[in-house]
Amino acid sequence: MQRRSQTAVLAAASLLLAAGCSSGGEKSENGGDASSAPPRSPGASAPASPSASPSPSVAAKGSVKVTATLTTGLESPWGVAPLPGGDLLVASRDTGKIVKVAADGGKKTELGSVPGVDPGGEGGLLGIAVSSTFGADHQVYAYFTTASDNRIARMIYDEKRPAGNQLGAPDTLFKGIPKGQIHNGGRIAFGPDKMLYAGTGETGDTGLAQDKDSPAGKILRMTPDGEPAHGNPQADSVVYDYGHRNVQGLAWDGDKRLWASEFGQDTWDELNLIEPGKNYGWPEVEGKGKGDAGSAFVDPVAQWKTADASPSGIAYAKGSIWMAGLRGERLWRIPLDGKKAAADPQAFLDGEYGRLRTVVAAGDGGLWLVTSNTDGRGDPRKGDDRILHLKVS
């Protein structure tokens, strides 16, 4: 990671271009004035600046084809959780509702609302996930903002009940995650180890990211019951790592390594390889340059300049991490070679669908991509918000 005073030097030598989420300490995930973004050529596939040599097993250049629009008319969609049969659960940040979208035909069915959701700023009903044993317990997990905090709860989904009333009463598993007008994090996912992971933000209070006693500005790892998971850096804590500004993307690669996307401030957005107990530097450092900043901080694997990304959800497919960009309004592909990038990041769908919030792996090897133009920061188009199916390579 790099000190802000070294931005000009390191930018010229940067291995990877990409985009930051905001300009100024209190700016939101929108990243400031979108009019400052460089001109885009819709549909272009834009590589970042020169980086690593391609791995022989991963193509340096990929491709993306939008094969279908699964559904339209979603309101402020945020979290998405695939069900075992392929259907998708979608959370609405502002309404607190969860709907099921059929993978075959895109029919929407409202399951119900999560009680206690208090939307405002970047808060509301954010990430959702289904348990690793969903076939047996039918548990749906939600990360959401209340009047006092961010918290994680689970509910039983009973599809035999009438539409709109298919979610049981929430059972709060973990509470007390600081809330703010900005930087609430919100992504949750079950890992290959069947533990629940959550990305949090520092709410604009930058010091919380380095405070190991605070769950803000961290990645948390807990059991499905909300207890500290065995193997965490501290046995009595759910904190898995620290030093984050605002984590909204979590994904595991084919070798079960955890990756996370992160909003930067003035200089760099990041894709990080996550390891337990490590310090990812915020607010002391931002972007690459660990050798200059001190060995205590972990470098990102890839970084993006402001206005090209503002990364939210990520997914792993076809040997690459795929990253949805909000302000950048594009989908980034980062081909992997083990723990590093195999080639330069490559951009797709540049400006074609507006802000992109969430991307998840589809059962057929492709991706589901969710737009985010009805969240108060985008420019809604007819049919927004929508879910697209992508064929990727």
- Give the pLDDT band of residue 18 (cuts 50, 70, 90): very low
Query: Is 275's pLDDT higher than 50?
Result: yes
Name the average pLDDT for the chain: 88
Q: Are strands 108-113 and 258-262 parallel, antiparallel or unpaired?
A: unpaired
Give the pLDDT band of residue 29 (cuts 50, 70, 90).
Answer: confident
Burial label for 135, CB within 10 Å (0-12, 13-18, 19+), is: exposed
The single-letter code of the amino acid at 350 is: D
**First-to-last C-alpha distance (Å) of the chain:** 30
Residue-wise pLDDT for 60-98, tens only, equals 999 999 999 999 999 999 999 999 999 999 999 999 999
304 alpha-carbon distance from chain centroid: 15
- Phi, psi at 118, each rounded to 5°: -120, 90
131 vs 374: CA distance, rounded Å: 28
Which of the given ranges, 4-13, 42-51, 304-313, 315-324, has the highest pLDDT on average?
Answer: 315-324
More confident residue, 16 or 325: 325
Q: Write the burial class of residue 23 (CB in 10 Å: 0-12 exposed, 13-18 middle, 19+ buried).
A: middle
Closest CA to 360 of 39, 81, 90: 81
Q: What is the pLDDT of residue 6?
A: 35
pLDDT > 70 fraction of the chain, expressed in percent and rounded: 84
Bridge partners (DSSP) listed for residue 335: 320
Domains by residue range for the chain, with CATH: 4-25+49-392 (2.120.10.30)
Torsions phi, psi for 8 (to 5 deg): -65, -45
Q: How many CA atoms lie within 13 A of 321 on its CB side?
A: 36
Query: Does residue 5 carry a pLDDT above 90?
Result: no
> Is the pLDDT at 36 greater than 50, yes or no?
no
How open is the CA angle 371-362-185, to the nearest 5 degrees?
A: 50
**pLDDT: which is higher, 18 or 122:** 122
Q: How confident is the model at residue 188, as a pLDDT? A: 99
- Total-model pTM: 0.89
Distance CA 371, CA 89 (A): 15
Tokens of 242: 């620290």
pLDDT confidence tier of residue 4, bands split at 50, 70 and 90: very low
Residue-level pLDDT at 37: 33
- Distance of CA 358 to CAs 78, 116, 324, Å? 7, 23, 6
Distance from C-alpha of 128 to C-alpha of 267, rounded to nearest angstrom: 30
